[in-house]
Structure 1
Amino acid sequence: MLPTSRQILFAISSICFALIAVALYLQHIEQMQPCPLCVIQRYMFLAVGVASLVSAISGKIREGTVLALMAALGGLYAVGKHLYVIANPGFSCGIDPMETFLNKIPTAEYLPWLFRADGLCAGATDSVLGLAIPQWSALWFVILSVLLVFVLVRKAR
């Protein structure tokens, strides 16, 4: 028996919040400082998680799933750029206007332990279980996008 759309959305939400917890562990325990693109990915994982959770709780499956999918696709774009930066060492997004802008957003000012960008994008090459952090992020955004599309297609029937 297949899980219901609400169960899938609760699972997606849990996965997103767990990924944020892993990011915080890597930042605060392993001293891996997030770069601007990492922080954007955090925002996207949170958006997917919150939209999925609200959708599952409220019963507005289609609306919440579409919002979550848009955030997941935004995350895929951000991680795609991040992987491009890593693959092209001369290209950087380090200390630049994007970092300054991100660090001035109220969430970064009030929750710097979660949203402050202090690292260099090109430096995110440390591997965890064989993949760099941006590669893991890309994998999870793909998985979440596929699950969200499944919920949308399934609900449309």
Structure 2
Amino acid sequence: MTLPASRLLYLLAFIICIVLLLIALYMEHYMGLLPCPLCIIQRIAFVLIGLTCLAAVIHNPAPRDGRGRAGAARAYGVATTLFAGLGAAIAGRQVWLQYQPAEQLPSCLPSLDYMMDVLPLHDMLGLLFSGTADCAAVTWTFLGLSIAECTLIAFIGFTIFGLVQIFRSRD
């Protein structure tokens, strides 16, 4: 069994990223589910994956150049894998927070605008990545899975996709 062309797979991955981001915006603006700091970081990871996939579609690098190298094709796979791995780590952290007792969770954070004005970047990022009680709240489920669990599955899928593209460029 042979896989479809990389360009088609990257286009499909890009479309999936767009659909996931549209779902997130629908949930925020029409269902009233406000994103927590970890949710926002996950959205950024989906944007980065989508932009990487779009660049791969537009560039359409050859799996191998005339000298047997696959630098650009492999680079898109590596970038996709890295962004998806980052997203999976953040979603995994949020899933972990959701299974912690409420009394062990950190309190709510000040607004992002306030933190950007007052805190150094390093401290602000540390607070954002640590998560809060807001991040542990399960306000919606699909097939018994929280939003964070659904996005974790999506990030794992994108990580596998990126790894397949890396090793595919070696053929």
Q: TM-score range by the shorter chain?
A: 0.7 to 0.9
Greater fraction helix? 1
Q: Deviations over 1:14-68 (max 9, x none)?
A: 1111100000011111111000000000000110010111022112322222112
Whole-angstrom distance in 1 between the partners of 2:107 and 2:153:
22
**Partner SS, residue 32 of structure 2:** coil
**Partner SS, residue 92 of structure 1:** coil
Q: Deviations over 1:97-119 (max 9, x none)?
A: xx5379749xxxxxxxxxxxxx9
1:130 maps to which of 144, 156, 164: 144
Whole-angstrom distance in 1 between the partners of 2:80 and 2:141:
28
Residue segments in structure 2 that go unaligned for 5+ positions in a row: 62-71, 118-132
Number of equivalent positions = 142
Aligned to 1:45: 46
Whole-angstrom distance in 1 between the partners of 2:48 and 2:85:
11
Preserved CA contact (<8 Å) 1:36 1:94: no
Could you tell me which amino acid in structure 2 is paired with residue 18 of structure 1?
A: V
In the alignment, is residue 150 of structure 1 matched against residue 151 of structure 2? no
Residue segments in structure 1 that go unaligned for 5+ positions in a row: 106-118
Could you tell me which amino acid in structure 2 is paired with residue 130 of structure 1?
A: G
| Residues 11-50 of structure 1 aligned to structure 2 (within 5 Å) | 11-50=12-51
| Residues 69-148 of structure 1 aligned to structure 2 (within 5 Å) | 69-88=81-100, 89=102, 90-92=104-106, 94-96=108-110, 100=112, 104=116, 120-148=134-162
The 3 A distance-change label for structure 1 pair 75 and 101 is farther
How far is the alpha carbon of 1:93 from its aligned partner? 6.5
How far is the alpha carbon of 1:129 from its aligned partner? 3.0
Q: What fraction of aligned residue pairs are identical, expressed as a percent?
A: 26
Preserved CA contact (<8 Å) 1:65 1:151: yes
The 3 A distance-change label for structure 1 pair 148 and 39 is same
The 3 A distance-change label for structure 1 pair 125 and 144 is same
Name the larger-Rg structure: 2
TM-score (norm 1): 0.81
Whole-angstrom distance in 2 between the partners of 1:36 and 1:11:
28
Q: Give the 4+ runs in structure 1 shifted more than 6 A.
A: none
Aligned to 2:80: 68
Whole-angstrom distance in 1 between the partners of 2:9 and 2:107:
35
